[in-house]
Amino acid sequence: MVRSLQIAVLICLAAVAARADSRNQTFDDFVTPLPVKPGETLVVGIVGGWERWDNPGRCIRRTAIAINRRELPGVWVETVENHKLELAERLIREAFDFNRDGKLGEDEAKQAQVVLFGQSLGGRAALRLARTLDGWGVGVRLVAVVDAYGKDAYTVPPNVRAAANWFQRDHLFVKGAPLLRAEDAARTRILFNRKVSYKGRRGEFEIDEQSRMGTFFMGTHLTMEFDMPLWREVEEMVIEAARGRD
């Protein structure tokens, strides 16, 4: 019963909060030149729920746009829908296939430089993608997740250098994952598992009228998308990782 209510709430969120009316995401929607140049970094943001990958009003795409506006040399930023990880996998494989032989060789995998961030179901998906990359021998500089949601062990694979987790537990049904654990503490640094509460704070945030209806269903889970200081912290952390700074 509870699981059915959770699914219904997520569907309501998708219906009332979506603002972009893009076509179905395909590989051709990515703009990163393939392959990238050796030494360049690929940042992949994974959107939550059933959001469109290119909806500029939602937190992951909004953050990706803000990073792109910095025009950081050697840094490419893309967003992908959480139920289309095969697109992200192909993107990463082709981005670092320097000899263009159609596969990611061992040396190419070692040279790959990747940063992942995601929210809600996209947070869970970011960890799943990191595990796939672990199997490929690809290192991930940072996995940053915000209110990650969905069934998962929430363990961080050893190919990830650092991970950060912001979450809330105020919502009746949709509660963010409270704890990321490193599979190998000697190789992965968990920067923090930070609980955020919005009780009595809803009036602090500027929420557009279309999304305001979504907060009726999603409460603090959606309110978290409009916590601009939090998302500026995510943005800065992703940028530092993309630049290769610990």
CA 149/CA 145 separation, integer angstroms? 10
Q: Which helix (H) or strand (E) holds 2?
A: helix 2-17
Q: For position 204, what pLDDT does the model report?
A: 65
168 in a structural domain? yes
Any domain includes 195: yes
Residue 234 lies in a domain: yes
Reply yes or no on whether the pLDDT at 217 is more than 70.
Answer: no
Question: What are the start-end ranges of the E strands in 36-185?
Answer: 41-47, 75-81, 114-119, 140-146, 155-156, 160-167, 181-182
Do the beta carbons of residue 64 and residue 242 sit within 8 Å? Answer: no
Domain annotation covers residue 158: yes
Q: Which residues of 55-79 are buried (b: 16+ CB within 10 A; e: fewer)?
A: bebbbbbbbbebbeeeeeeebbbbb
Longest pairwise C-alpha distance within the chain:
56
Number of domains the chain contains: 1
Q: What is the pLDDT of residue 50?
A: 87
* Average model confidence (pLDDT) across the chain: 88
C-alpha distances in angstroms, 98 versus 92, 105, 191?
A: 11, 9, 32
Domain with 174, as residue range(s), is 2-21+31-242
**Burial class for 128, CB neighbours closer than 10 Å (0-12, 13-18, 19+):** middle
pLDDT tens per residue, range 118-173:
999 999 999 999 999 999 999 999 999 999 999 999 999 999 999 999 999 987 78
| pLDDT tens per residue, range 54-64 | 999 899 999 99
Question: For residue 196, is it within any domain?
Answer: yes
Output the CA torsion sign for 50, 24, 143, 196: negative
pLDDT for the residue numbered 17: 45
CB 192 within 8 A of CB 234: no
Which CATH number covers residue 186? 3.40.50
| Residue 26 maps to a domain | no
Instruction: Please report whether residue 58 resides in a domain.
Output: yes
Q: Say if CB 107 and CB 131 are below 8 A apart.
A: no
Report the predicted TM-score, pTM, of the whole model to 2 decimal places. Answer: 0.88
48 part of a folded domain: yes
CA distance linking residue 117 with residue 80, whole number of Å: 11
More confident position, 198 or 125: 125
